[in-house]
Amino acid sequence: MHKRILIKLSGEALAGDGGKGFNHKIVIEVAQQLKQLVEENIQVSVVIGGGNFWRGRSSSDMDRTKADQIGMLATVMNAIYVANVCRSEGIGTVVQTPFVVGTMTELFSKDKALEHLAQNKVVFFAGGTGHPFFSTDTGAVLRAAEIEVDALFFAKNIDGIYDSDPKLNKNAIRHDRISFKEIIAQNLKAMDLTAATLCNEQKLQIIVFSLEPYNAILKAVHGEIAGTTIYPD
């Protein structure tokens, strides 16, 4: 049984058709699952990507720093939205950011985050690391290490890490387990390599799974879903 976890939701997994915006039904299902985890006395923190709005690295015709700033703000919008849906479902929430967003969010603080978690609130860490050239994968691992989670989950729109892109190769094979070192050595695009390096150094394990199956988050946290376990070595 986990005590404190961090769940990273990719922006795309929450998106509507065409990978943009939100699918409200999916977000409500996510909120209901987070509520159940809180009721199981698990301290739950969440990081949400921004790919359903904006990706800095895809905006090659503009200044990367500015493009990434827009990406970070996209993750703040996502967190405010999902946190609000969680409140509608009856869960206490807080959105923390590494930069000031006026009165809309709280500035990141480990101590405050731990206080909120102890009060059964779900804490959303938005805005990534607060710096360009990083991703929310890295932001998620950073916060997971800082608040000392005992488990880290990455919910995506694909059910794990494959040896090649399953959209391009129908014979692609999903890894049940793979080490961070193998991901780095094989330059697998499934996760950001900076995040993989940090996770390996911090001896954190990640469970990668698809958000799509019914109650996928609950099944992942309870160890009942097929996905990929990425382990440090």
Helical axes 136-146 vs 193-201, angle rounded to 10°: 20
Does 136 engage in binding with ligand UDP (CB under 6 A)? yes
> Which one of 7-15, 32-40, 144-152, 215-223 is the stretch in contact with ligand UDP (CB under 6 A)?
7-15
Residue 77 CB, shortest distance to ligand UDP, in Å, is 11
Residue 75 binds to ligand UDP (criterion: CB under 6 A): yes
C-alpha distance from residue 195 to each of 21, 127, 187 (Å): 25, 16, 13
> With binding defined as CB under 6 A, does residue 11 bind ligand UDP?
yes
Using CB under 6 A as the binding rule, whether residue 71 contacts ligand UDP is answered as yes
Residue 76 contacts ligand UDP per CB under 6 A: no
* Start-to-end CA span in the chain (Å): 23
* Min separation Cβ 85 and ligand UDP, Å: 17
| CB 130, min distance to ligand UDP, A | 6
From the list 34, 45, 51, 200, which residue makes contact with ligand UDP (rule: CB under 6 A)?
51
Q: Are 149 and 4 in contact (CB under 8 A)?
A: yes
Cα radius of gyration (the chain): 16
Q: Which of 45, 97, 135, 200 binds ligand UDP (CB under 6 A)?
A: 135
Distance, CA of 160 to CA of 178 (rounded, Å) = 10
Query: Dihedrals φ, ψ of 116, to 5°?
Result: -60, -45
Q: Which two tokens stand for residue 193?
A: 């390599």
Rule CB under 6 A: say whether 97 interacts with ligand UDP.
no
Stretch that binds ligand UDP, among 6-14, 18-26, 103-111, 195-203 (CB under 6 A): 6-14
Cα separation, 2 vs 218, whole angstroms: 12
Question: Nearer Cβ to ligand UDP, position 73 or 221?
Answer: 73
Q: By CB under 6 A, is residue 134 in contact with ligand UDP?
A: yes
Contact status, residue 122 vs residue 33, Cβ threshold 8 Å: no
What phi and psi values does residue 190 have, to the nearest 5 degrees?
-65, -30
Residue ranges binding ligand UDP (CB under 6 A): 10-12, 49-51, 55-57, 67-68, 71-72, 74-75, 128-129, 131-132, 134-139
